[in-house]
């Protein structure tokens, strides 16, 4: 009985770990590689954002992929359709597993990106990276959205953007965990919901306004949890991961 119970607990832990994307928000390659080697396994998915990519360039993606992990390239493209589609072609050739664009760029930009990535992956004979759309940043609240000139209710606006992305062929969205349940209800079970703004019970909120705990975010319908500072700024990142997994599986 003990062995079966232990096997069940290990499987739950692996399933929980597969939902975590660790944000490598550092500016040195060596630090990024050290974190990946420290945390993998159990974590196999890592985010390369503006800080690391700007500091190190595309070579960091190749080096991290050589470590056998998945990469979410978080550069939040937002420009005219041709420019974003052209950038997306380059990203597809990098071999990343997922990248994002701002859904507020509009339908033409989204569709041009989806088509460019599909064609590039086919030509290269490689898997197509997942394309996810940024809805509203988790640092925003209703007041800030209004200051930006958007009068709509924040959750309704997020769901509207998600539906636009779904109609244009993207694979999912980046959204606050607070909107995950509404997005899941409108966009279906196969639509990815990647949620930053996730903070363990023992962690500070930092600059995030709309947050839930890892367990709450998964229950709300999140597919993946992007977690950075609570892990990488912890004196013992591997212990932080274990605490998060325990919180998710209890």
- Catalytic amino acids? 76
CA distances 88 to 94, 146, 187, Å, are 10, 30, 24
Contact by Cβ (8 Å): 196, 174: yes
The DSSP string of the chain is -HHHHHHHHHHHHHHHHTTEEEE---S-HHHHHHHHHHHTTT--EEEEEHHHHHHH-THHHHHHHTTT-EEEEEEEE-S-HHHHHHHHHHHHHHT-SEEEEEGGG-HHHHHHHHHHHHHHHHHHTSPPPEEEEE-S-TT--HHHHHHTT--S-HHHHHHHHHHHHHHTT--EEE--GGGHHHHHHHH-TTSEEEE--B--TTS--TT-SS-B-HHHHHHHT-SEEEE-HHHHTSSSHHHHHHHHHHHHH-
Distance CA(33)–CA(20), nearest Å, equals 17
CA distances 129 to 75, 78, 91, 101, Å, are 14, 18, 8, 13
């Amino acid at each position: 009985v003990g062995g079966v119970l232990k096997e069940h607990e290990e499987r739950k832990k692996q399933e929980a770990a597969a939902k975590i994307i660790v944000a490598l928000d550092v500016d040195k390659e060596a630090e990024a590689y050290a974190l990946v080697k420290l945390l993998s396994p159990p974590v196999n998915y890592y985010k390369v954002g503006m800080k690391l990519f700007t500091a190190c360039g595309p070579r960091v993606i190749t080096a991290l992929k050589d470590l056998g992990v998945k990469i979410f390239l978080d550069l939040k493209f937002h420009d005219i359709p041709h420019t974003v589609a052209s950038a997306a072609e380059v990203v597809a050739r990098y071999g990343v597993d997922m990248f994002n664009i701002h859904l507020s760029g509009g339908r033409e930009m989204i569709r041009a990106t989806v088509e460019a990535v599909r064609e590039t992956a086919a030509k290269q004979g490689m898997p197509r990276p997942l394309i996810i759309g940024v809805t509203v940043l988790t640092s925003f609240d209703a007041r800030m959205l209004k200051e930006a000139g958007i009068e709509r209710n924040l959750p309704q606006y997020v769901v509207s953007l998600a539906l636009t992305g779904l109609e244009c062929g993207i694979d999912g969205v980046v959204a606050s965990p607070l909107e995950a349940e509404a997005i899941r209800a409108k966009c279906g079970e196969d639509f990815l919901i990647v949620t930053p703004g996730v903070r363990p019970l023992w962690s500070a909120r930092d600059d995030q306004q709309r947050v839930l705990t890892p367990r709450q975010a998964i229950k709300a319908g999140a597919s993946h949890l992007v977690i950075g500072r609570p892990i990488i700024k912890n004196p013992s990142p591997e212990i932080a991961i274990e605490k998060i997994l325990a919180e998710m599986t209890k």
